[in-house]
């Protein structure tokens, strides 16, 4: 499944000054509400925190993929945040995080949640992804950069 089909420029935030993981998760939850993806920012934030308490979603190489499910959404939605400065995120490799891709998926479809999460991880592990994410000058160029990287990936 192509990630670009789940992401639009309204949910891309570049060079956002957030000081820590908690601020990132709060920002993501509120952005999903503003984007009419979910109705309750606090409930989504709690879900994101609960997931982080299980294990950090900092997947390494400066990338985190916080995710949760919600009964408010019918389809998975993605939010892209490029931080102004890298932050400590308890990532598995210890590297500070600069790129955050948040996912909210329908509570009723855990298999779809896992599929989108796997596709996100596949995209993020591509050798050109981080360069594409960091070099974008604006939202449109970021989305186009991601499309270019996705064309090199075979999704199941």
Q: Which residues are known to be catalytic?
A: 67
Q: What does R_g of the chain's alpha carbons equal in angstroms?
A: 14
User: Tokens for 42?
Assistant: 């606090």
Whether 63 and 130 have beta carbons less than 8 Å apart is answered as yes
Sorted by sequence, the CB contacts under 8 Å of residue 36 that are 6+ apart come out as none
User: Tokens for 143?
Assistant: 């989305």
Q: Is 42 exposed, middle or buried (0-12, 13-18, 19+ CB in 10 A)?
A: exposed
């Amino acid at each position: 499944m192509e990630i670009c089909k789940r992401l639009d420029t309204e949910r891309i935030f570049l060079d956002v000054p957030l000081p820590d993981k908690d601020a990132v998760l709060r920002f993501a939850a509120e952005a999903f509400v503003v984007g009419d993806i979910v109705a309750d920012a606090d409930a989504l934030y709690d879900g994101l925190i609960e997931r982080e308490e299980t294990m950090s979603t900092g997947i390494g190489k400066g990338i985190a993929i916080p995710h949760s499910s919600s009964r408010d959404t019918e389809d998975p939605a993605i939010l892209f945040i490029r931080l102004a400065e890298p932050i400590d995120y308890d990532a598995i490799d210890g590297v500070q995080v600069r790129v955050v891709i948040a996912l909210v998926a329908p509570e009723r479809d855990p298999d779809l949640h896992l599929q989108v999460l796997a596709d996100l991880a596949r995209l993020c592990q591509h050798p050109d992804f981080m360069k594409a994410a960091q070099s974008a000058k604006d939202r449109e160029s970021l989305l186009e950069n991601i499309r270019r990287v996705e064309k090199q990936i075979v999704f199941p």
